[in-house]
């Protein structure tokens, strides 16, 4: 059983109503016209960007990972605040460019890029993060046919993992990137006139709250980049991200300042051959997750087997991760509150409107008593929410989204 938990930046007014960006949740729903509704607070995102800038060594660039939240209004907002966008499909690339990010500040990663995606990226001037020898050959062939140069960086599958990550992206057999021991053979191809070598992308894992693990992965990535460059000028190294956020009660928020201090030490000790190399960190979840809240309305109350169920008009078709069905081994509750009032409390399960037992937004929660018509606020909804969920399942309406 847990009490109310809200991320920094959210509070209640004197009447106990949840405030988002200075207005009640009910006011935002009235503006939108209905629920379910995602709200993304730009002030919280801006504070994250400022904190990153203050914490990281001077010159380290900040990239936004578009897959975390590709809402066009959010991308347009972030385009003026970060140094680049990292995308994982031609669709995300189109959104990044439409948001105003310069093509030479957009990088395109992900296995399985189709030939038409390679051609589109080359034509736009986006940097391809090449994931295999075969993909490199296809990119080179496409550039030759187009009479263009393909901007390419090699995505490296490092021989180490980011320990304690929610999702491990490097180390061992992976579909992502080129194994480090295979990369040297591809480096000799970077002299091809059809290729414009832009550097390395080394991404070991995501959703990590361990300062020491992040610092060690960054140190090892810098050393690996120097080894693989073998004296060749290295324009940029994308160190990946991995900065986690505290979804669950036992989680402790990441000390980003400590991570930045450790990175400063690693960069100060980097080999002379990397003196002019630009370093970037790509973050998605850490920038936007805590800025988002998902509002859904209680449509029914019922008792079953001695337990209270609050049935809402939302669910896992919009917020899959919160139900524990997006890579979580043990289901735990995201922060969730009654947004309409803060009165007498009850223990209740909050469920969605889908006819599957998987559709549970919160279990055995200590909540302000839920009345039919009350709004439920599910936090940590700014990243991997709508677009990471099976929205078409069972044909319910799409949620609305507002940048506030």
pLDDT band at 374 (very low <50, low <70, confident <90, very high): very high
pLDDT-wise least confident of 75-89, 181-195, 296-310: 181-195
Average pLDDT over the chain reads 94
Tell me, what's the pLDDT at 62? 98
Same domain, 265 and 296: no
Tell me, what's the pLDDT at 15? 97
Is the pLDDT higher at 160 or at 313? 313
**Is 64 a domain residue?**
no
Selection from 154, 105, 99, 141 nearest residue 125 by Cα: 105
- Mean per-residue pLDDT, 307-313: 98
pLDDT exceeds cutoff 80 at 170: no
Same domain, 216 and 359: no
* CATH code of 24's domain: 2.40.37.10
Sequence-distant contacts of 52-57: CB under 8 A, at least 24 apart = 52/256, 52/281, 52/283, 52/287, 54/257, 55/256, 55/257, 55/259, 55/260, 56/260, 56/263, 56/264, 56/281, 57/260, 57/263, 57/264, 57/267
**Is 275 a domain residue?**
yes
Is the pLDDT higher at 117 or at 176? 117
Tell me, what's the pLDDT at 207? 86
pLDDT exceeds cutoff 50 at 109: yes
Same domain, 157 and 206: yes
pLDDT exceeds cutoff 60 at 165: no
Same domain, 223 and 347: no
Same domain, 276 and 150: yes
* CATH code of 117's domain: 3.20.20.10
Question: Where among 283, 301, 327 does a domain terminate?
Answer: 283
**Is 60 a domain residue?**
no
pLDDT band at 172 (very low <50, low <70, confident <90, very high): low
Same domain, 133 and 178: yes
Same domain, 222 and 96: yes
pLDDT exceeds cutoff 60 at 164: no
Q: Please report, in angstroms and rounded to a whole number, the separation of the first and last CA atoms in the chain.
A: 32
Instruction: Say how many C-beta atoms besides its own lie within 10 A of residue 83's C-beta.
Output: 14
Question: Where among 263, 283, 303 does a domain terminate?
Answer: 283
Residues for the chain: how many in total? 404
pLDDT-wise least confident of 128-142, 243-257, 327-341: 327-341
Residues of the domain holding 146: 70-283
Tell me, what's the pLDDT at 2? 46
Tell me, what's the pLDDT at 150? 98
Percent of the chain whose predicted confidence (pLDDT) is above 90: 87
Same domain, 126 and 268: yes
Write b or e for each residue in 58-72: b if 16 or more Cβ atoms lie within 10 A of its Cβ, otherwise e.
eebbbbbbbbbbbbe
Question: Where among 249, 268, 283 does a domain terminate?
Answer: 283
**165 SS3 class:** coil
Same domain, 88 and 154: yes
Same domain, 140 and 255: yes
Same domain, 273 and 295: no
Tell me, what's the pLDDT at 73? 98
Tell me, what's the pLDDT at 162? 61
**Is 45 a domain residue?**
no
Residue 187: alpha-carbon gap to chain centroid? 30
Tell me, what's the pLDDT at 106? 98
How far apart (Å, rounded) are the C-alpha atoms in residues 216 and 205? 12
48-85 pLDDT tens trace: 999 999 999 999 999 999 999 999 999 999 999 999 99
Same domain, 301 and 278: no
Tell me, what's the pLDDT at 4? 85
pLDDT exceeds cutoff 50 at 155: yes
- Residues 6 or more apart from 375 whose CB is under 8 A from it? 18, 25, 26, 29, 35, 295, 296, 297, 298, 338, 339, 340
242-292 pLDDT tens trace: 999 999 998 999 999 999 999 999 999 999 999 999 999 999 999 999 999
Tell me, what's the pLDDT at 1? 39
- Residue 163 has φ and ψ, to the nearest 5°, of -65, 135
**Is 58 a domain residue?**
no
**Is 5 a domain residue?**
no
Tell me, what's the pLDDT at 174? 66
Q: Tell me how many domains the chain contains.
A: 2
* C-beta separation of 153 from 129 below 8 A: yes
How far apart (Å, rounded) are the C-alpha atoms in residues 98 and 207? 28
**Is 55 a domain residue?**
no
- Residue 64 has φ and ψ, to the nearest 5°, of -100, 130
Tell me, what's the pLDDT at 163? 56
Tell me, what's the pLDDT at 173? 63
**Is 327 a domain residue?**
yes
Tell me, what's the pLDDT at 328? 67
How far apart (Å, rounded) are the C-alpha atoms in residues 139 and 308? 57
Pairing of β 167-168 and β 127-130: unpaired
185-237 pLDDT tens trace: 899 999 999 999 999 999 877 788 999 999 999 999 999 999 999 989 999 99
Both tokens assigned to 259 = 């991570």
Tell me, what's the pLDDT at 342? 96
């Amino acid at each position: 059983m847990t009490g109310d938990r809200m991320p920094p930046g959210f509070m209640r007014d004197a009447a106990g109503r949840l405030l988002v960006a200075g207005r009640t949740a009910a006011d935002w729903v009235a503006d939108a016209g209905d629920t379910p509704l995602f709200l993304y607070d730009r002030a919280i995102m801006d504070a994250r960007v400022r904190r990153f800038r203050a914490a990281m060594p001077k010159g380290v660039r900040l990239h936004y990972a578009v897959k975390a939240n590709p809402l066009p209004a959010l991308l347009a907002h972030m385009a003026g605040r970060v140094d680049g966008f990292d995308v994982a499909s031609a669709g995300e690339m189109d959104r990044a460019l439409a948001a105003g990010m310069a093509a030479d500040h957009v990088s395109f990663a992900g296995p399985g890029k189709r030939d038409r995606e390679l051609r589109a990226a080359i034509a736009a001037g986006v940097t391809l993060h090449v994931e295999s020898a075969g993909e490199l050959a296809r990119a080179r062939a496409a550039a030759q046919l187009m009479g263009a140069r393909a901007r390419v960086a090699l995505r490296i599958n490092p021989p180490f993992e980011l320990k304690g990550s929610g999702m491990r992206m490097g180390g061992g057999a992976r579909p992502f990137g080129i194994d480090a021991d295979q990369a040297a053979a591809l480096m000799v191809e970077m002299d091809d006139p059809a290729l414009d070598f832009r550097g390395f992308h080394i991404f070991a894992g995501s959703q990590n709250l361990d300062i020491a693990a992040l610092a060690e992965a960054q140190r090892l990535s810098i050393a690996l980049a120097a080894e693989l460059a073998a004296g060749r000028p290295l324009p940029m190294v994308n160190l990946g991200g991995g900065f986690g956020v505290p979804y669950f009660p036992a989680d402790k928020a990441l000390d980003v300042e400590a991570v930045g201090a450790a990175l400063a030490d690693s960069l100060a000790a980097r080999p002379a051959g990397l003196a002019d190399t630009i370093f970037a960190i790509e973050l998605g979840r850490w920038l936007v997750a805590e800025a988002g809240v998902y509002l859904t309305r209680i449509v029914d109350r019922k008792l079953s087997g001695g337990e209270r169920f609050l049935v809402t008009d939302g669910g896992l078709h919009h917020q899959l991760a919160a139900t524990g069905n997006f890579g979580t081994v043990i289901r735990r509750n995201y922060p969730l509150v009654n947004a309409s009032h803060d009165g007498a409390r009850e223990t209740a399960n909050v469920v969605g409107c889908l006819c599957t037992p998987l559709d549970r937004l919160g279990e055995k929660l200590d909540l302000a008593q839920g009345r039919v018509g009350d709004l439920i606020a599910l936090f940590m909804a700014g990243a991997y929410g709508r677009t990471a969920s099976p929205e078409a399942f069972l044909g319910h309406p799409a949620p609305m989204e507002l940048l506030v």
